[in-house]
Amino acid sequence: MASCYFVPIPTSSHLISADLSKKFKIPKLIHTKKRYDGSKVTAFYGLKTPPYELDALEPYMSKRAINRHWGEYHRNFIEGLNRQLEKDDILYGYTLDELVKVTYNNGNPLPEFNNAAEVWNHDFFWESMQPGGGDMPTPGLFQQIEKDFGSFTNFRESFIGASLTLFGSGWVWLVLKREEKRLEIVKTSNAICPIVWDDIPIINLDLWEHAYYTDYRNDRAKYVDVFMDHLVSWNAATERMKRAEAFVNLGEPKIPIA
């Protein structure tokens, strides 16, 4: 189910500066009651399903692993976030992107940040994979990677190296840096998401142990190799790059190249 929300009855609020709201272009919030058959209706963020059947990534990611990861851990983040939002009226009506940015609070996260960011990260992660993934990027994206990393081999080694050297739990991302106008590999700890720094994520890899324990036990290296060789969706990455070019002028090559 796609993310959705109605605006419920206000209960309390956070102090969020006008400057921060202006920076992230947060819309004004309107607090209203929604009723149906005399009962109050409240709907918050929903659990999005992956864009493929839960067994579609086998044998590289099992249905059992996805059921546990998506059906339990991801669901827990959604439910935890919704419980927090029941207590705080000022955050109702935000898109998930806005919610992540404003609760990051310039590096002093509000209580809702971890759950909001983990929901965002997981939604993005499921869409960073596809059945029959891996292989090589489409031509335009491939040329951009070669331009920014020297070669696809360099990129692959750097992505794997970042994944294996991330301390503790977190995420590894391929992002487009707006100011530098180049692709870069970024490591984040725990729930941190690069959109809080205004980067544009292209792909990500979940490196919390729950992401790979079921299928790979403690073998993070094997999990990362399998992701790069058989799971990563270069189709999704290309579409994200095409959208990113609306905001960042990369020059040549254009994405995609026919």
Residue 177 to residues 144, 184, 210, Cα–Cα distance (Å): 13, 7, 29
What is the C-alpha separation between 253 and 98, in angstroms, rounded?
A: 31
H-helix segments, 127-212? 139-149, 152-165
Q: Is 69 annotated as a binding residue?
A: yes
Q: Is 206 annotated as a binding residue?
A: yes
Residue 6 to residues 37, 82, 178, Cα–Cα distance (Å): 16, 12, 33
Q: Residues 89, 94, 96, 101: is their CA dihedral positive or negative?
A: negative
CB-CB contact of 241 with 255 (8 Å): yes
Q: Is 230 annotated as a binding residue?
A: no
Q: Is 31 annotated as a binding residue?
A: no
Q: Say which residue the tokens 């963020």 belong to.
A: 45
Residues annotated as binding site?
A: 69, 122, 206, 210
Binding residues for Mn(2+): 69, 122, 206, 210
